[in-house]
């Protein structure tokens, strides 16, 4: 989508430290990391929020979780644990309206989140 920051990263118009890519999904380091491991996993297709996900996105959503598993293993945090977060709309703090799964790990995670 024109003007979407994450679509521009998918199209390689904006640089990112890419850690995983397949035909449906791209994953890259968050520019403002909140943990020793902080990766954003995004679909290549533009989907603004989780509220816009439908049954037609089944394969994409599955691919995002598969990517999370692979990356967590590669970063050696699969066993200790990690957190997957999808902020949706304003009260949750979504700032980029192209869905993205935050993969956070490498430190203890408090609950409830802030
Ligand atoms: P959210 O607040 O859930 O929408 O998350 C958006 C995330 O995108 C934030 O954690 C930002 O630090 C991150 N971010 C914004 N711009 C970039 C960028 N150009 N490259 C990597 N991460 C980014």
For 46-78, how does the pLDDT look when each residue is reduced to its tens digit (9 = 90+)? 999 999 999 999 999 999 999 999 999 999 999
Residues with CB under 6 A from ligand 1: 5, 14, 16, 28, 30-32, 40, 87, 93-96
- Confidence at residue 81, expressed as pLDDT on a 0 to 100 scale: 98
- Residue 46 and residue 64: Cα distance in Å, rounded? 14
38 is catalytic: no
78 within 8 A of 72, measured Cβ to Cβ:
yes
- Residue 77 and residue 84: Cα distance in Å, rounded? 12
58 within 8 A of 74, measured Cβ to Cβ:
no
pLDDT per residue as tens digits for the range 70-104: 999 999 999 999 999 999 999 999 999 999 999 99
Q: Which one is catalytic: 38, 100, 102, 108?
A: 100
Q: Is the pLDDT of residue 114 over 90?
A: no
Measured CA to CA in angstroms, residue 91 lies from 39, 95, 108, 114 at distances of 22, 10, 24, 11
Burial state string for 62-75 with b = 16 or more CB within 10 A and e = fewer than 16: ebbeebbebbbeeb
- Confidence at residue 76, expressed as pLDDT on a 0 to 100 scale: 98
Shortest-distance Cα residue to atom 3 of ligand 1: 94
| DSSP 8-state symbol, 55 | G
9 phi, psi to nearest 5 deg: -70, -40
pTM (2 d.p.): 0.98
- The arithmetic mean of pLDDT across residues 14-38, rounded, is 98
């Amino acid at each position: 989508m024109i003007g979407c920051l994450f679509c521009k990263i998918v199209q390689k118009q904006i640089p990112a430290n890419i850690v995983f890519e397949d035909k449906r999904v791209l994953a890259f380091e968050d520019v403002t990391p909140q943990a020793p491991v902080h990766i954003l996993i995004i679909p290549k297709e533009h989907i603004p929020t989780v509220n816009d996900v439908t049954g037609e996105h089944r394969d994409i959503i599955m691919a995002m979780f598969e990517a999370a598993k692979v990356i967590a293993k590669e970063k050696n945090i699969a066993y200790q644990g990690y957190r997957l977060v999808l902020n949706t709309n304003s009260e949750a703090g979504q700032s980029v309206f192209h869905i993205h799964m935050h993969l956070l790990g490498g430190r203890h995670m408090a609950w409830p989140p802030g």
